[in-house]
């Protein structure tokens, strides 16, 4: 590769920078002759913290500024948590690599020094997907919305505003905070968000990203395709509780999904399996089945 410089765009939160630096480390090894640098920026989703995402425009608010930098050639790659990416990606800005998956589970974090959720305090939770599933696990404990990055949320927890937090294990571990985890929720009891634990590297259409060949993970790619096809078919943004988790094993993929139908106020969980090569078709098939079971309009 002859390119002299590669600029990687990132949100400016600590976790986003750590994740981007993981990609930069790989690129430096793959392109020792290139100068690789980081460009950080605050996105709209990072700035507006007093309202839930579904009230201010959904996941696109975390990528808009990064997309603009790519289009204007101020950056060459963007690094995102795949779960934060909109389901519709501009054709001119394709995802060019999916990382190997970090732990996809959700976790429970308690205030420092506590061994159980303090009485009378809510669980801090930022998604309807988690809220819906927490009602099954903790029927007597209310959930309360919380925004901000992981560090901000932890400080609110330790200040006594919440009795517990639910976060993605991947982010907590990448921040070096695994010792704060009180409980892991297995995917069977709390289905993760589509793409959770996977990093998505976005680039520009028509450019040579062959230097990322060794970074791409095929199992994560199949899982991502199935999970995102499931959510896309159901038109799930931030506002509707939808979850999907794919596991690839020896060329087969098992997809577990959750769909909540607002029309009938019911939800269903289901599971299907197929060849990993049919990941997207599997996602759509499971989505159709769960939509039928909840009485949603086809």
Sheet strands side by side (includes 266-275)? 242-249, 252-261, 266-275
Query: How far is the CA of 154 from the CAs of 66, 76, 125, 158, in angstroms?
Result: 26, 33, 12, 6
> What confidence score (pLDDT) does residue 32 get?
94
- On whether the CB atoms of residues 231 and 286 are closer than 8 A, the answer is no
| Residues in Cβ contact with 129 at an 8 Å cutoff, skipping those fewer than 6 apart | 191, 193, 241, 242, 243, 258
User: Catalytic site residue 46?
Assistant: no
Q: Which helix (H) or strand (E) holds 260?
A: strand 252-261
Q: Which helix (H) or strand (E) holds 164?
A: strand 164-168
pLDDT over 50 at 49, yes or no: no
Give the relative orientation of helices 279-293 and 218-233 as an angle to the nearest 10 degrees: 30
The percentage of the chain sitting over the pLDDT mark of 90, rounded to a whole number, equals 79
| Domains present along the chain, CATH in parentheses | 1-99+195-216 (3.40.190.10), 106-185 (3.40.190.10), 217-298 (3.30.160.40)
- 285-296 pLDDT, tens digit per residue, is 999 999 999 876
> What confidence score (pLDDT) does residue 153 get?
95
Q: Which helix (H) or strand (E) holds 6?
A: strand 5-11
Q: What is the mean pLDDT of residues 233-258?
A: 88
Look up the pTM and report it. Answer: 0.90
| Per annotation, catalytic residue among 67, 84, 106, 217 | 84
- 182-237 pLDDT, tens digit per residue, is 999 999 999 999 999 999 999 999 999 999 999 999 999 999 999 999 999 998 55
pLDDT over 50 at 56, yes or no: no
> What confidence score (pLDDT) does residue 28 get?
96
Most confident of 20-24, 124-128, 232-236: 20-24
């Amino acid at each position: 590769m002859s390119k002299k410089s590669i600029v990687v765009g990132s949100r400016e939160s600590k976790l986003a920078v750590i994740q981007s630096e993981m990609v930069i480390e790989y690129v430096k090894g793959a392109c020792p002759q290139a100068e690789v640098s980081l460009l950080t920026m605050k996105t709209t989703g990072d700035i507006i913290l007093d309202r839930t995402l579904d009230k201010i425009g959904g996941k696109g608010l975390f990528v808009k500024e990064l997309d603009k930098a790519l289009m204007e050639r101020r950056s060459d790659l963007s690094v995102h948590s795949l779960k934060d990416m909109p389901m519709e990606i501009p054709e001119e800005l394709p995802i060019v690599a999916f990382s190997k998956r970090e732990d996809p589970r959700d976790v429970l974090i308690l205030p420092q020094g506590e061994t159980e959720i303090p009485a009378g305090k809510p669980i801090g939770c930022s998604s309807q997907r988690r809220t819906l599933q927490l009602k099954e696990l903790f029927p007597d404990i209310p959930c309360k919305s919380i925004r901000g990055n992981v560090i901000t949320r932890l400080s609110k927890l330790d200040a006594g505003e919440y009795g517990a937090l639910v976060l993605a294990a991947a982010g907590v571990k990448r921040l070096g905070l695994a010792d704060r985890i009180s409980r892991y929720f297995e995917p069977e009891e709390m289905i993760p968000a589509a793409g959770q634990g996977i990093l998505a590297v976005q680039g520009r259409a028509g450019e040579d990203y062959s230097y990322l060949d060794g970074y791409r993970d095929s199992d994560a790619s199949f899982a991502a395709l199935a999970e995102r096809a499931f959510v896309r078919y159901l038109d799930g943004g931030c506002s509707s509780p939808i979850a999907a988790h794919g596991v690839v094993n020896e060329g087969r993929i098992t997809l577990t999904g959750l769909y909540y139908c607002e029309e009938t106020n019911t939800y269903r969980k289901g599971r299907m399996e197929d060849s990993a090569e049919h990941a997207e078709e599997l996602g759509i098939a499971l989505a159709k089945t769960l939509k039928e079971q909840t009485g949603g309009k086809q």
